[in-house]
Amino acid sequence: MECMRSPLPDYLTEVLRGCADSSGTLADYIPELARADPDRFALTLVTAEGAMYSVGDDDTEFTIQSISKPFVYGLALQQRGFDAVLDVIDVEPSGEAFNEVSLERNTGRPLNPMINAGALAAHALVLDDRPVEDSVEDIRSLLSSLAGRDLAIDEKVAASELENSYRNVAIANLLRGYEVFEDDPDEIVEGYIRQCSVTVTTKDLAMMAATLAAGGVQPVTCEEIFSRDVVRQVLSVMATCGMYDAAGDWLSTVGIPAKSGVSGGIIGILPGQLGIAAYSPRLDEHGTSVQGVAAFGRLSRDMNLHLMDAP
Ligand code: GLN
C-alpha cells in the first residue's frame, strides 16, 4: 500500500503554471478542430510499471490525429513483417512539414511513416485488400488495447476532415500512381482520416506511450501488444522523424522520441522508464502544441530525461 504522498503531482501542476502561454493558433484546416477550448492544458506521466501521475484537463477528449501514426506503423510491422513494410516506406527524416509530398524521386516511396505520405501507405498495409471498415476497426481496437479502455471515433471531426482532404487525396493519388499501393486512394484517405479521429485523453496517450516504454507490454493489463523489435523500430523512427521539420531541434533540446498531432497532443517515451503525454490545442508553425513543447522542455531539463546525457 502507498502511504507516502508523492510530490510529483504538485511539481507537474507547477510545470503547467510555469508553461502557461497564450501564443499559437488552433488548427483550422480541419474546421471542427477550431472549436476546441484553447485554454485546455493537461499533462500525464505513466511509468513503465503503470503508475500514473496526471494534472490539468486530463479528462478532456480530443482526436489523436498524427499520434496514431507510430502505432499504425507498429501494427503494419507486426502484421506484415519488416521486409514488406520497409519495401513500401523508408525511414529517412524528410525535414519537411507533415503534409508535404515527400516521396523518393524514382520509386514514389514515402520517406518515413510519420509524415502523411508514409502514414497513408502504412494504412494501406494494414488494409491489405480488405474493406476499409476492417482496417479502421483493427486500428481502433489496437489503440484501445494500448490505452487499456475502449476508444471511440469522433465522427464529426472525421467528416470535417474528409470534406477538406484535398491535400491528402492528392498525396494518396500520387502514391497510387507510383503503385506504392493498389487500393482506391479515396478509400485509403477515408481509413486514414478515421484513424486520426479516434478520441483520447492525455491519460490514454500516456498509457500508450508507457506501453512503448515497457517494450510493447501494456503496463496495467499486461497484454503483449508489440514485439520488442517493433518497439525499437517505432521509437527510432519517432526520434528521427516524429516532430517533422522540428525533429532535430526537438531531439537536441528535449532528447526523447516523440510524436505530435494537430489537435494539440504530444507523446514522448523514455525507454524502460516513462510514457509522457501533454495536451494543449494552440499550435506553433510546425503544427505542434506550444504549451506542450514548453512542458516537455521543462520536464526534460528538471528531471534529466535527455537520452544523450550520461547517467
Ligand atoms: N489528420 C491530420 C492530417 O492528415 C493529421 C495531421 C497531424 O496531426 N499532424 O492532416
Are 89 and 96 spatial neighbours (Cβ–Cβ below 8 Å)? no
Task: Give the annotated binding-site residues for substrate.
Answer: 66, 116, 161, 168, 192, 244, 262
pTM: 0.97
The pLDDT tens digits for 265-283 are 999 999 999 999 999 999 9
Average pLDDT for 80-107:
94
∠ CA 114-42-207, rounded to 5°:
60
pLDDT at 214: 98
- What distance in Å separates the CA atoms of residue 264 and residue 282, rounded to the nearest whole number? 7
- What distance in Å separates the CA atoms of residue 209 and residue 202, rounded to the nearest whole number? 10
124, pLDDT greater than 90: yes
Average pLDDT for 131-158:
98
Q: Which three cell numbers, joined as nine digits, stand for 186?
A: 479515396
pLDDT above 90 coverage of the chain, percent:
95
pLDDT at 251: 96
Ligand 1 test: best mutation among 64, 94, 99, 166, most atoms within 8 Å of CB?
A: 99
pLDDT at 122: 98
- What distance in Å separates the CA atoms of residue 125 and residue 130, rounded to the nearest whole number? 10
Specify whether 262 is catalytic. Answer: yes
Average pLDDT for 57-70:
98
Q: Is 8-65+198-303's fold the same as 67-196's?
A: yes
Candidate list 192, 198, 231, 260, residue with the active-site label:
192
Q: Is 98 in the pocket of ligand 1 (CB under 6 A)?
A: yes
2, pLDDT greater than 80: no
pLDDT at 137: 98
Region 67-196: CATH code = 3.40.710.10
Helices (H) and strands (E) in the chain, counts: 12, 7
pLDDT at 263: 98
How many beta carbons lie within 10 A of that of residue 60, not counting itself? Answer: 18
* 8-65+198-303 CATH, one of 3.10.20.90, 3.40.710.10, 2.40.70.10, 1.10.3720.10: 3.40.710.10
For the chain, domain boundaries: 8-65+198-303, 67-196
- What distance in Å separates the CA atoms of residue 65 and residue 43, rounded to the nearest whole number? 18
Split at pLDDT 50, 70, 90, the class of 31 is very high
Q: Is 191 in the pocket of ligand 1 (CB under 6 A)?
A: no
Q: Is 112 in the pocket of ligand 1 (CB under 6 A)?
A: no
Provide ipTM, 2 decimals: 0.97
Distance of CA 307 to the CA centre of its chain: 19
- C-alpha 150 – ligand 1 centre gap (Å): 22
Ligand 1 test: best mutation among 72, 98, 243, most atoms within 8 Å of CB?
A: 98
1, pLDDT greater than 60: no
Mean pLDDT of the chain: 96
Task: Give the annotated binding-site residues.
Answer: 66, 116, 161, 168, 192, 244, 262
305, pLDDT greater than 80: yes
Phi, psi (rounded to 5 degrees) for 138 = -55, -45
130, pLDDT greater than 70: yes
Q: Is 62 in the pocket of ligand 1 (CB under 6 A)?
A: no
